[in-house]
Amino acid sequence: MHLNKDERNKEQERVTWVSQQLDEKIQDTQTEYQKAKAETQRVQKDYGTNTSANYLEADDRIETSADLQQQRSLTNKVVEDQAIVESQLATYRDLRQSPYFGRIDIQDEGFSDVDHLYIGKASFIDKDGEFLIYDWRAPISSVYYNGTLGKVAYDTPNGKQNTDLLKKRQFQIKNGKIINMFDTNETVGDELLQSALSDENNEKMQNIVATIQHEQNDIIRDTNSNLLVVQGVAGSGKTSALLQRIAFLLYHSRDSLNADQILLFSPNLLFSNYIKDVLPSLGERNMRQVTLAEFFAHRLEGMKVQTLFQRYEDNDQDLDPALREFKNSQNYIDQIEEYVKQLTPDRIKFDDIHFNGEVYFSKDEIREVYAALPQGMTSSEKLLQTKNKLIKRLKNRIHDETKKKWVADIIDTMSDEQYHNLLGAKHLNDFEELDDERDYIATQLVKNRLSTVYDAIYNDEFLDPYVQYADFLDHVKLPNQVDLDQWKQNKNDFLSHIEFHQIGLDDTAPLLYLRDRFSGENKNVNIKYLFVDEIQDYSIAQIMYLKLIFPRAKFNLIGDSEQAIFKDVESAQTLLDKLNDAIPSKRSRLIQLNRSYRSTYPITSFAKSLLPDGNDIEAFNRNGDKPELIVKDSSEELEQTLLSVIKQQLQKHETVAVITKDAASAKRVYQKVNARFDATLLKDSDRDMNSPVVVLPVYLAKGLEFDSVVAWDTSKRNYPDEHSLGVLYTILTRAMHSLTLLCNGEVSPLIPKRAISNNLIKISKNSTAE
Ligand SMILES: Nc1ncnc2c1ncn2[C@@H]1O[C@H](COP(=O)(O)OP(=O)(O)OP(=O)(O)O)[C@@H](O)[C@H]1O
């Protein structure tokens, strides 16, 4: 409902008044900031002069280090104070542009007053302690997002408070001026959403704080679940809700949670970059982000781990799908779990530890130490004890080692500098006899050299996880569907890849699971919330590994089962059931989002017609042109058409993305396009898209959106059957305002006849688009 002029004037007066209060606050904060900055500079300067203290004498050094510690913590504190004031200043400046977007009038049960509360990106309190603006994450603000008018409740420190929601008003305010305002009964009226969604693509994802929808709000404000699974159709705001949720959690648990304790697995580097401004725009620090490829590479240092993209590109046709499915399944990891539990010392693949080219601790010695430990211990306890015992033995052997010839040889040929380095803080006159001095040097030398043995023990180098995993492969109980010969061949492939320090993706998580489950090591207990976006691209085995090594994290798994591009599409319920079995959690919850916001109504209507369950998808009502399918009979003609489509689209939109099925076609298309336009071919190492035209394979477009999308060659050849449904659907749903499908020859059967008969798509047979 649009409001009368009087009402609008009153609201504008309030905005102006709040803006004045903000101006004052900004001035005060600026002064405070200058002071904080001066203080930091003063301390840093002092710190600089104080620490140039005398380093020559050992005693001084100890004193200096205590001083240093004190200075350092003082510096940290002033730097932190300065950063806090700086971020407050940024918040007030931000609010000054647009102080709030919502108002609620509520009357609490048992009270006669009606409160008018205004809701914005952050709280703002005046000098008398009155809330002029409530942070969108404050408990009371939930009423704005959740409730329709009438009786509702919100959380307070004393429990639930019932209230009567009398009015809900929305604003668009720019530079202190109300542009638009209206009252509504809905969560956030369509009008505001329309306006937010009609904008052309911003290079970076925007926050959606002013227009969060009811069901998105459930995701954002969930504080109860240990396993939260979000299944949402393409463009339903899953990633947006995920980021808003992180901002919410940081606010809600600000005393016990910081951004470093939240980790997000993102699909690719372009995506990481695309979303990186959302949290800062909400006044929060970014969570940590990692891609699966980066994560595995880090966990298996020295190995070339096949990435999801490489596996997709290689698409080894010979590999039995049943075998792959098995290796990615819970059954497989459960068998590893059993294998580890039953691993007797004689079957553990120990390795010798070498020193100076000779065996220093033999595998038999290590095995003996391990085997002598009490039966009741877990493998990780035994491993720890074994390491402790080996380190003890190592220390005991230092003395013997000093008598060896190699030590004498080195000392004799040592330069003065090396000698003095080993002498360290000792003085020559600290020794009574010359021999004492030489013994000291020999001990230091041996200790230094033996650090390689120490490291080998510390880093479990006496265990060979690859050979152990190969042994496991020999003991697996194969499901009926998997062929034994294929399995043996697959094991040989694994071993020959290892020779070249390569490992396939299907073996990576299971191998890591075996290694880390056995050792109990490499866990990260610091992470409290783990988010995985595009969960449909992960295997159950990978999720089980994540659960093993992030034991304290609450899992938030977000995705769209229809956008599975690396395997066949599976239903949301199947995925949830699998997850519940694989990582049972006390409080698990599934939230589904069915409304799609990204694309225009015609685009979503067409895209959903490809899916068997497409009717569940609700298209947001935003106007636009019908998608167009242009069919040509040769690749030359198709390339020509592509150029004219791009030209046409650039007149209407700032960005055009040509999305292909794989990297090879992206490269070919790019060569044609680049001759005429300022274009970029995107690769998986890219973080930015710097040109108006981009050409990219589907997996790099994951999670992203573009004003205009051209789907390259949607022919039967490229998309022959339902195995490529996820790929084609993902491509089509990247489009915000315009979608063109180009096809050479027979059209993919995935584009259903009914889309054509129901007129969901415009077909141009042999015309060019120009
Ligand atoms: N409540 C909202 N208010 C305004 N814009 C929204 C809202 N929800 C989603 N959007 C917009 O819709 C688009 C799609 O959102 P987002 O990328 O979060 O969806 P998604 O479900 O993660 O998509 P996909 O799985 O297809 O990658 C974005 O432009 C986002 O800003």
**Is any ligand 1 atom within 6 A of the Cβ of residue 187?**
no
Same domain, yes or no: 605 and 653 = yes
Averaged confidence pLDDT in the chain: 88
The residue whose CA has the least distance to atom 1 of ligand 1 is 212
Same domain, yes or no: 70 and 16 = yes
Q: Is 238 annotated as a binding residue?
A: yes
pLDDT of residue 463: 95
Centre of ligand 1 to C-alpha 31, Å, is 40
pLDDT of residue 437: 80
Residues 24, 36: Cα–Cα separation, whole Å: 18
Please check whether residue 369 lies inside any domain of the structure.
yes
Q: Can you name the residues that pair with 463 across neighbouring β-strands?
A: 350
Residue 281: domain span? 209-309+523-596
**Is any ligand 1 atom within 6 A of the Cβ of residue 737?**
no
pLDDT of residue 189: 58
**pLDDT, average across residues 109-120:** 93
State which of 596, 619, 640 marks the end of a domain.
596
Same domain, yes or no: 539 and 577 = yes
pLDDT band at 543 (very low <50, low <70, confident <90, very high): very high
Centre of ligand 1 to C-alpha 657, Å, is 18
Please check whether residue 326 lies inside any domain of the structure.
no
Same domain, yes or no: 575 and 616 = no
**Is any ligand 1 atom within 6 A of the Cβ of residue 211?**
yes
Q: What is the pTM of this model?
A: 0.88
Give residue 474's Cα distance to chain centre.
Answer: 35
State which H helix or E strand residue 739 sits in.
Answer: strand 735-744
- For the stretch 694-732, pLDDT in tens is 999 999 998 999 999 999 999 999 999 888 899 999 999
**pLDDT, average across residues 380-405:** 90
- Candidate of 598, 705, 709, 729 to mutate for ligand 1, largest count of ligand atoms within 8 Å of Cβ: 598
Same domain, yes or no: 250 and 396 = no
pLDDT of residue 54: 41
**Is any ligand 1 atom within 6 A of the Cβ of residue 212?**
yes
The residue whose CA has the least distance to atom 9 of ligand 1 is 237
Q: To the nearest 10°, the Cα dihedral for 331, 333, 337, 342?
A: 70
Percent of the chain at pLDDT > 70 equals: 93
Q: To the nearest 10°, the Cα dihedral for 578, 580, 583, 587?
A: 160
Atom of ligand 1 nearest to the CA of 703: 27
Same domain, yes or no: 12 and 64 = yes
Q: Is 232 annotated as a binding residue?
A: yes
pLDDT of residue 396: 87
Residues 674, 136: Cα–Cα separation, whole Å: 45
- For the stretch 133-172, pLDDT in tens is 999 999 999 999 886 889 999 988 888 999 999 999 999 9
In this predicted structure, the answer to whether residue 294 has a pLDDT above a threshold of 70 is yes
CB 99 within 8 A of CB 118: yes
Please check whether residue 481 lies inside any domain of the structure.
no
From 364, 438, 444, 452, select the one nearest 408 (Cα to Cα): 438
Please check whether residue 741 lies inside any domain of the structure.
yes
Same domain, yes or no: 76 and 188 = yes
Same domain, yes or no: 625 and 556 = no
Q: Is 234 annotated as a binding residue?
A: yes
Please check whether residue 329 lies inside any domain of the structure.
no
pLDDT band at 738 (very low <50, low <70, confident <90, very high): very high
Same domain, yes or no: 615 and 759 = yes
**Is any ligand 1 atom within 6 A of the Cβ of residue 216?**
yes
Please check whether residue 506 lies inside any domain of the structure.
no
pLDDT band at 48 (very low <50, low <70, confident <90, very high): low
In this predicted structure, the answer to whether residue 598 has a pLDDT above a threshold of 90 is yes
pLDDT band at 66 (very low <50, low <70, confident <90, very high): low
pLDDT band at 566 (very low <50, low <70, confident <90, very high): low
Same domain, yes or no: 365 and 430 = yes
Centre of ligand 1 to C-alpha 238, Å, is 6
Centre of ligand 1 to C-alpha 677, Å, is 29
**Is any ligand 1 atom within 6 A of the Cβ of residue 197?**
yes
Q: Is 120 annotated as a binding residue?
A: no
pLDDT band at 338 (very low <50, low <70, confident <90, very high): very high
Centre of ligand 1 to C-alpha 704, Å, is 10
Same domain, yes or no: 424 and 530 = no
Domains: count for the chain: 4
pLDDT band at 3 (very low <50, low <70, confident <90, very high): low
State which of 459, 491, 513 marks the end of a domain.
459
Same domain, yes or no: 621 and 756 = yes
**Neighbour order of strands in the sheet with 628-632:** 679-681, 693-697, 656-660, 706-711, 735-744, 628-632, 762-764
Residues 107, 114: Cα–Cα separation, whole Å: 5
Atom of ligand 1 nearest to the CA of 242: 18
Q: Which of 301-315, 540-554, 557-571 has the highest mean predicted lDDT (pLDDT)?
A: 540-554
Q: To the nearest 10°, the Cα dihedral for 255, 256, 257, 258?
A: 60
State which of 596, 627, 647 marks the end of a domain.
596
Please check whether residue 744 lies inside any domain of the structure.
yes
**Is any ligand 1 atom within 6 A of the Cβ of residue 239?**
yes
Atom of ligand 1 nearest to the CA of 593: 21
Please check whether residue 492 lies inside any domain of the structure.
no
- Candidate of 193, 238, 240, 591 to mutate for ligand 1, largest count of ligand atoms within 8 Å of Cβ: 240
Q: Read off the tokens for 188.
A: 């956030």
**Is any ligand 1 atom within 6 A of the Cβ of residue 90?**
no
- Candidate of 242, 597, 601, 618 to mutate for ligand 1, largest count of ligand atoms within 8 Å of Cβ: 597
Provide the CATH number for the domain around residue 564: 3.40.50.300
